[in-house]
Structure 1
Amino acid sequence: MTKIKFIDASFADPNEDEFVLKRRFEWHLRKLRALRNGVSPQVSGDFEDQLRWNKDLAAVTLAEKDRAKAIRRARCVMRARNKVSGLGHLAQEDRRRLEVLRDGADLVRIGSEHRADEIAAAIHAEMPWMAAATDLLWKAMRRSVRRGEAGFRLPPMLLNGPPGIGKSVWSRELGRHLGVPRCGIEGTAEQASFVVNGSQRGWSTALPGRPLQTILQSLCANPIVVIDEVEKAGTPTSSKGQTYGLTEGLLPLLEPSSAAAWRCPYYQVGFDMSCISWILTSNSLRGLTAPFLSRLEVLHLEPPSREHLIYFAAREGRRRGLSDPSMEAIREVLGEVAGRHVLNLRHVSRMIARAEALSSGPRLH
């Protein structure tokens, strides 16, 4: 695991606060006055000589104006450090929140091409109908290994297909196999760009964006961020005519060059967001602009076949401990109905849940 400098700011030594600087300035003043009065340390440098020298310095008295001057200089140094740190405009509480980034953030990498093959094979075994997405993932992981990248980043992708085929589940499986955190955002529930970018202070609900919050909590710089049903997000407009569309807010974050120097509206500090893996899902491309789509690998997915639905039912049934007769009944229903009606994973999940409830219910005598 590699660390990167995630925040465009510097952090002072936490052990050097205003009080420590004041003591240091006072001690330096004592040295200057001791030397001026003819008191000098012994050159031998042994312990007793050093102890005698410290006693001589402690005997030098400082007036109240000397102590006041030392504290003024200490405060001046602290102000200068805050100014050059890039965090001087923040309140102390916000600086404490960002303090976790002092040593950078972690990047999770793919260890070898063999490991990339294992991850792709495991996800494909779970969801073979998502082969197009898994194939893109597999090639991206192997390419990341060959290039020696410090951390894996999936190219921004849009999984476009009918509802209930497992697009969100696929992203959860990816996060589990990669061992990175996952941030999920519902495009229908959180339409404004604030949920991704954060909002400027002054708003009653001002907060940093969800992706940045995920990184601050996990200290992982390459999480997976999933935005479901992005085409339904819409574009909220303020009373002054300003638009805050979710897709517009995503544009600078989907482009690696601009994401590397992305500036948070809430903290007003730069962060390197270029390592995030963005996975967007949609049921259609209606309403999505050309500039937005040009930043994405758009994959058009088909619904699972009848064989895939039966495969999914068998796997879920085993996981839930359903009996063989129950599973056989579900297979028969799917075999008859799937040919006449369009079914998806949600339909199958409801069948399995109903069979599980019946099998665990009380028996009638």
Structure 2
Amino acid sequence: MPKIRFADVNFRRLGAPERYEVEDRLKKFLANFRAERHPARSLRHIPAEDRDKIERRVVAYFEAVHRASGMGHLDRSDREKMEAFRGGVDLIEIKSEHQADEIASALHTEMPWMAAATERVWHDLRSSVRRGDAGPRISPLLLLGPPGIGKSHWARLLGEHIGVPTTTIEATSEPASFVVSGSQRGWSSAEPGKAVQSVMASKIANPVIVVDEIDKAGSPQSTSGRSFDLAEGLLPLLERTTAQGWACPYFRVKFDMSWIIWVLTANSLQGLTQPFLSRCPPLELPSLSLDHLKGFAAREGARRGLPMDAVDAVQEVIDAIRQPQLLSLRNVLRLLDAVEVTFHQPVLH
């Protein structure tokens, strides 16, 4: 599994002496040096003036070390957080075109109505293998379609089949750009964005980041009139050239975010700007049919190990649906959840 340098910083060598150790060494050196030059005199005691000089030099040395590391502006707790990136982070790779074919086949088998998205990913995966990329280069995806067809579910399956973690950002509940990019130090709620947090927690450079219902994010503004539009905040992360050296507002360090797999979902294009759409052209997806839902129920029920009669009962409920607004993957998953709970609950004696 290849590793990449994710953070543009230099880490101190493991086992390098701490400040108090350097200070102690200098004091011992000075005492021994003077004792050797003047053996008849007792100079083991270091005067206060010399101790102050040593302390100033030690402070200057460590300030220079921190400046050279690119983390001199960070406090100790944030430097400790950055240790997650020491030695680089893992990049999950696709080793062959055959593996790319298997991933696409599995996605299409489970969710055939998402064929447009699956085909895009399939071509990107195969192209990455042919180019010899260190990991899969998947262009940002904007899945456009009616609610309830499983756009977010498909994104999670994509992460599972590639073997990377998935983080979901709900644009309706977290509409500001802070959730993606993070916020500067000084804010009471300052923290890194969820994309950086995902890499930090998993130490994997190419997680799937889902931004759900990006069209409903709105454009929050500060009291001074400054806009914190979520879609605008995504722009530098969706462009590979800028994502390679993206400056994190929280850490004020550059990270290589170019391997992240972005999947954005929307029910309409209303409110999405042309610069945003040029970075991730929308893929239009169809509504679900009864056959789609029944097929999904059969496959998902089998995956969960549910008995056939239980799956048949769920399919009968789907057949009985007459209201189009209830034809959603979400409702089928809820039915399967209820059946699974009933099937696995203990027998009372």
The interval holding the TM-score normalised by the smaller chain is 0.7 to 0.9
Q: How does 1:100-249 map to 2 (within 5 A)?
A: 100-249=84-233
Number of paired residues?
342
Counterpart of 1:47? Answer: none
Counterpart of 1:72? Answer: 56
Distance 2:344 2:260 in 1: 43
Cα gap change, 1:112 to 1:28, in 2 (>3 Å): farther
Letter in 2 for 1:204: S
Tell me the CA shift for residue 89 of structure 1.
Answer: 1.3
Tell me the CA shift for residue 11 of structure 1.
Answer: 1.7
Counterpart of 1:95? Answer: 79
Cα gap change, 1:176 to 1:30, in 2 (>3 Å): same
Tell me the CA shift for residue 144 of structure 1.
Answer: 0.9
Q: In structure 1, which of residues 306, 324, 333 is the aligned counterpart of residue 290 of structure 2?
A: 306
Distance 1:75 1:98 in 2: 22
Distance 2:308 2:64 in 1: 73
**Percent of paired sites with the same residue:** 50
**Do the aligned residues in 1 keep the contact of 2:32 with 2:44 (CA within 8 Å)?**
no
Tell me the CA shift for residue 306 of structure 1.
Answer: 2.8
Counterpart of 1:8? Answer: 8
The reply on whether 1:287 has 2:271 as its aligned counterpart is yes
Q: How does 1:325-340 map to 2 (within 5 A)?
A: 325-332=309-316, 334-335=318-319, 337=321
Q: Which moved more, 1:174-183 or 1:325-334?
A: 325-334
Tell me the CA shift for residue 347 of structure 1.
Answer: 3.5
Distance 2:290 2:104 in 1: 23
**Do the aligned residues in 2 keep the contact of 1:160 with 1:298 (CA within 8 Å)?**
yes
**Do the aligned residues in 2 keep the contact of 1:226 with 1:280 (CA within 8 Å)?**
yes
Distance 2:303 2:136 in 1: 31
Cα gap change, 1:270 to 1:329, in 2 (>3 Å): closer
**Do the aligned residues in 2 keep the contact of 1:184 with 1:227 (CA within 8 Å)?**
yes
Distance 1:356 1:83 in 2: 57
The reply on whether 1:274 has 2:258 as its aligned counterpart is yes
Counterpart of 1:259? Answer: 243
Q: Which moved more, 1:25-34 or 1:72-81?
A: 25-34
**Do the aligned residues in 1 keep the contact of 2:23 with 2:55 (CA within 8 Å)?**
yes
After TM superposition, the score normalised by the length of structure 1 is 0.84
**Do the aligned residues in 2 keep the contact of 1:190 with 1:233 (CA within 8 Å)?**
yes
5+ unaligned residues in a row in structure 1: which ranges?
40-58
Letter in 2 for 1:22: E
| Other structure's SS at 1:294 match | helix
**Do the aligned residues in 1 keep the contact of 2:210 with 2:262 (CA within 8 Å)?**
yes
Distance 2:346 2:82 in 1: 55
Distance 1:148 1:361 in 2: 50
Cα gap change, 1:197 to 1:360, in 2 (>3 Å): closer
Cα gap change, 1:318 to 1:150, in 2 (>3 Å): closer
Counterpart of 1:21? Answer: 22
Distance 1:196 1:328 in 2: 42
**Do the aligned residues in 2 keep the contact of 1:181 with 1:224 (CA within 8 Å)?**
yes
Q: Which moved more, 1:308-317 or 1:60-69?
A: 60-69
**Do the aligned residues in 1 keep the contact of 2:144 with 2:282 (CA within 8 Å)?**
yes
5+ unaligned residues in a row in structure 2: which ranges?
none
Q: Which moved more, 1:271-280 or 1:61-70?
A: 61-70
| Other structure's SS at 2:135 match | coil
Q: Which moved more, 1:88-97 or 1:232-241?
A: 88-97
Tell me the CA shift for residue 283 of structure 1.
Answer: 0.7
Tell me the CA shift for residue 361 of structure 1.
Answer: 9.5
Letter in 1 for 2:20: F
Q: Which moved more, 1:353-362 or 1:143-152?
A: 353-362
| Other structure's SS at 2:263 match | strand
Tell me the CA shift for residue 359 of structure 1.
Answer: 7.4
Tell me the CA shift for residue 293 of structure 1.
Answer: 0.3
1:248-295 superposed Cα distances (whole Å, 9 cap, x missing partner): 100111111111111111112211111111000011111111110000
CA RMSD of aligned residues (A): 2.8
Q: Which moved more, 1:280-289 or 1:113-122?
A: 113-122
Distance 1:84 1:358 in 2: 61
Tell me the CA shift for residue 349 of structure 1.
Answer: 3.4
